[in-house]
A and B are shown apart, each in its own frame.
Chain A
């Protein structure tokens, strides 16, 4: 019985971790690679949840399909936000504190806008796999956790391939290390940053769909994720997508095992303890340079 519990705790942790990874992917790109403290990212995740909700309610489409269709819109929104941020702050070298205030403002504007358009009631989607579970021997996979986890892993693999194998992707990695050197290679670092930021925001569309499959949302749900996503990003190592994935899975598994065997109230303490320990031993994070 204890072994079954352990196996299922690890499985639940991996699925939870994959969801955390999807939520953190955008932060990992914007904060980790571009040094833009986009604290509004969780707000855009909730925007993604509401878009999935409204289309699902009216047309019955799966939230993940809706999120994929909405990717270009989120990408475009990311371009606009970066342009405003660049022209107002980054260009003038005021990107640290004022930029942070800008993104704080964006978080609240997003929340209030959702409040006004959709109201404050709890919203969720209707998909046939919510409530279902797959069993393989003693292992159990709640489908509402499994589907987002699998799609999240595919999204991470796609992002990593894009960053590692394409010219633009490599330029994004380069701009995180040395924008001036990139300029010497006749590449516009601002354009590359805009593309990278837009990609980071597009991931919010996917994460939002995953979230509303897992649990109901209200406009303020995003606030709950701010601390956790930045912690995972730092634990994984700034600028490393594989590091973010590993950190998210690790946090998920540790939370799940702690929750199962020692009680859920210990879970955040243990996972943040791990963060402190890792940073003490390896300040750059698990896979940070």
Chain B
């Protein structure tokens, strides 16, 4: 202490200033983190996508924190497993808001789980970025809702639209169609939309049925379709069912000009490798494929980092379908908070409505109903797949993009199955 007393006063002042400067960042760091709360399907039927989504969110949070956080505060993800069960969701979101006191919320994964989360978000006036929901806001009409899947304003139409666009290019012109979909939210909405488009296109609907969840054998369904002799088969199925339907089509020898459209499953690496050559000529929707036309800033870095982290975690090893878009959703939340300069829910929603956001999946602008202002769902035809190896699915030549026009890389080829 004596030593300090004996120092010249100028030096003392300089030391004090240095101490203040040194302490300033730690004072910022001591501020509580910005908590972002959500429920996620980490077990149950949607867990395959839920866990991949969580990994992408964690990658975003790590990246943001490494750069100093948002509004100079660290970001903390607060999440609970909703077990893929809609009934768990309202309780979790209430707990997140009342007990965990989160500052921001993001939706769970998938339409069936977003809808119950919306009831809490609307009541508490929270802005909610949604992850892969189809038409949720059609009923709520909530002005603080945003959805990251590139479906566009008429969200239920985005997937079937690509299928029917491809059908219109066929020669000879197709005359009839079979529509088969899962008796669940996504299957119903997509089948309804496909039905309207088929009627508008003047196609005769020769088979139009829904199948119940947990159907094991699809041979009876496929034989009934075969008996109806459709030119086109539109499928709106869930992953396990998609495998069952595609295998049954190949086993029974059913042929049609175009098959697929709304099958959930072929987007995932595990289903791609299971089906292998059975995918050839199948029409499938994708959100992202490694095409030269989809080289958005940061996407390749993100995919490489994701694939390195996903290895050994039992999640989708390619990560083309869900992870880049979930990462983009978080990028938008982050950018909106920074642009707004506060955590005011109404102001954040206004910022998201008013701006275009640069993300790893390209520039995103939202329409009034919270969907992308322009749809960008890809309809691809799988081609040239040999065997069941994973690496071939990193090759853009196996995905012929049929629509939208801006990304088109080829025309539809008939029939399915290709052999």
Contacts and interface: CB of A to CB of B under 8 A. Distances in A.
Interface string B231-246: 0000000011001100
B410 interface: no
B219 A142 contact: yes
B45 interface: yes
A261 interface: yes
A131 B215 CA distance: 18
Given A132-B251, A133-B252, A142-B248, A8 B219 contact: yes
Contact of A121 (B221, B224, B316): B316
B342 interface: no
B84 A260 contact: no
Contacts, number: 142
B223 A9 contact: yes
Contact of A144 (B183, B220, B247): B247
Contacts of A224: 213-214
Most buried by A among B50, B216, B265, B316: B216
A264 B211 contact: yes
B416 to A, nearest CB: 14
B271 A216 contact: yes
B231 to A, nearest CB: 18
Contact of A219 (B43, B250, B252): B43
A255 B211 CA distance: 11
B210 interface: yes
A256 interface: yes
A256 B315 CA distance: 34
Interface residues of B, number: 48
B393 interface: no
Nearest to B239: A122
Interface in A139-155: 140, 142, 144-145
B270 interface: yes
A122 B51 contact: no
B220 A9 contact: yes
Given A130-B247, A140-B251, A216-B270, A119 B215 contact: no
B227 A1 contact: yes
Contacts of B268: 121-122
B227 A5 contact: yes
Contacts of B269: 121
Contacts of A216: 239-240, 243, 270-271, 274
Given A216-B271, A265-B211, A8 B216 contact: no
B212 A16 contact: no
Contacts of A124: 243, 270, 274
Contact of A261 (B50, B224, B271): B224
B278 interface: yes
A137 to B, nearest CB: 14
B419 to A, nearest CB: 11
Interface in A76-119: 111-112, 115, 118-119
Interface in A172-227: 214-216, 218-221, 223-225
B44 interface: yes
A283 interface: no
B219 A12 contact: yes
A19 B214 CA distance: 14
Q: Please list the 6 inter-chain residue pairs (A to B) with the smallest Cβ-Cβ separation, ordered nearest first.
A: A119-B314, A120-B47, A264-B211, A259-B220, A224-B214, A260-B220
25 contacts: A8-B219, A12-B223, A111-B43, A119-B314, A120-B50, A121-B270, A121-B314, A121-B316, A122-B270, A122-B274, A123-B270, A124-B274, A133-B252, A133-B253, A142-B251, A214-B216, A214-B244, A218-B48, A218-B240, A220-B43, A220-B47, A220-B84, A221-B240, A264-B220, A267-B212
